[in-house]
Structure 1
Amino acid sequence: MFQDQLKDAAARIETRLADALADAADQPVTHAMRYAVSGGKRLRGFLVIESAALYGIAPEQSVHAAAAIEALHAYSLVHDDMPCMDDDDLRRGQPTVHIKWDDATAVLAGDALQTLAFDLLADPSCHPDPAVRVDLVASLARASGIDGMVLGQAQDIAAETAGRPLTLDEITELQANKTGALIRWSAEAGARLAQEDIAPLSAYATALGLAFQIADDILDVEGDAAKTGKRVQKDADAGKATFVSLLGLDGAKARAKALVTEAEDALAPYGARADALREAARFVIAREV
């Protein structure tokens, strides 16, 4: 059931993104954008669609915001993979954008995917009320900028030259920004579309985002590159502090499981209507990719 819901959301998002890029200029950067935004779990977009469904908002409307977060997430991956950042040559089982094209094309494709995200949110089809669209744009700008994802990436880069491993509190803060900020926005988007209180979904997503990152750290140790579609053992080879290095493998797994329970508990106000979101929380620590 959950996997079917995830696939349905992914198909809707892919169609919306394809439509958004259908009339784009026939240039290498456009091809790189389409390449970068293809594939993936679409978990963030799924969270948008399912959080909106809690308030009776149909996927035909919420898909615009779902596509926006997936475009922005794709931009972040394109830039993170570049030699000046995390220096990866494999993403989703395929060569990264700067490897398949070049650094300049990767920079421009990432830039264009970022602006596409805000274009999708600003479109009246996203929501008829301009105030709601402005709220979505402003909140995503904060989540993705210097108070969110970009801050987390900067903290991650700084940690590599700090001369000491990060503490548990420091890595928790870093990942709450780098990974967690976009996950929080995704889950809060449904409440924003409905103009309702975001607090319960924010609490859910805060726990979910941290569990997601811990699961990533576990996959870097236990995962199979053929399944994950990216290099494994990368953090250990680089000597980076992770939740696994700080808590141990069993401790990290226990922490992730406790966070899933915390995420599920935050959904109590929604009753059975939030079952898909509960399944999403369980999925993040059971996944192999």
Structure 2
Amino acid sequence: MTGTTATAVDTPVVQAQGLGFRYAQALGEAVFSDVSLSVGQREIVCLLGGSGCGKSTLLRVLARLEAPADAAHTTGELHFMGAPHLRPHPRAALVFQQPALLPWLNAERNVGFGLDFAHQSAITRSALRQRVDEALAAVGLQGQGRLFPAQLSGGMAQRVALARALVREPVLLLADEPFSALDAITRAEMQQLLVDLVHRWQTAALLVTHDIDEALLVGDRIVLMGARPGRIVREWRVDIARPRRADSPEAGALRLQILGALHAARQADPTPSP
């Protein structure tokens, strides 16, 4: 396959080496084990895998929402911007499957929520307003900041959630199936928006998804996670020119490879699916 793709800088924004995690209350095996993964600037890495393989938990560990102190056993190393990553960092932003907007705040106040928390860098009121306006404009919601969550469509609400992440000026964007609840047309628009924002804002992104076509359309790399415990079993670089089509011959050939690897990973899982 030939084409153009985003080029990551030499030093990864986030890098995990031999990372493993188990919950403190769990007496059995780890949620995931021996995971080595990196994401570079202006790179979108899509994380695929079956249900229960630990993708969402891995995302939370990378964000340090699941801290080492919360685990009975944590292994490996995790670095963010070249330094040990031990606690949540203000320049690592997380976008969830649901927008999780506060219903009593309008869009602009939802976007700016948390910027004045103690762990954030001090910011003036005028600078905060400018950053909120820029984030709303980046996701196509300029002039819509006074709308409340009940007045927003599903796609608009997810744009507000994305703006809430962008307003923190992140160098790393972690997204846990953020578009899965949207209709097909809105989802396609949000996928393209994510690609545009990553390149324009010079950020790195790790996207958890169950959708192979989404990974093919969005990702610069696709990483497959196997289960019991979760581990990285395969990786592909998506060297397909943008804009991409899911029905292109290049995408079709790569889709077959990924489906075959998914099937092999499921066959290797000793625990039967529910």
User: How does the TM-score come out when normalised to structure 2?
Assistant: 0.29
User: How does the TM-score come out when normalised to structure 1?
Assistant: 0.28
The structure whose residues are more often helix, as a share, is 1
**More contact order relative to length (CA 8 Å, sep ≥ 6):** 2
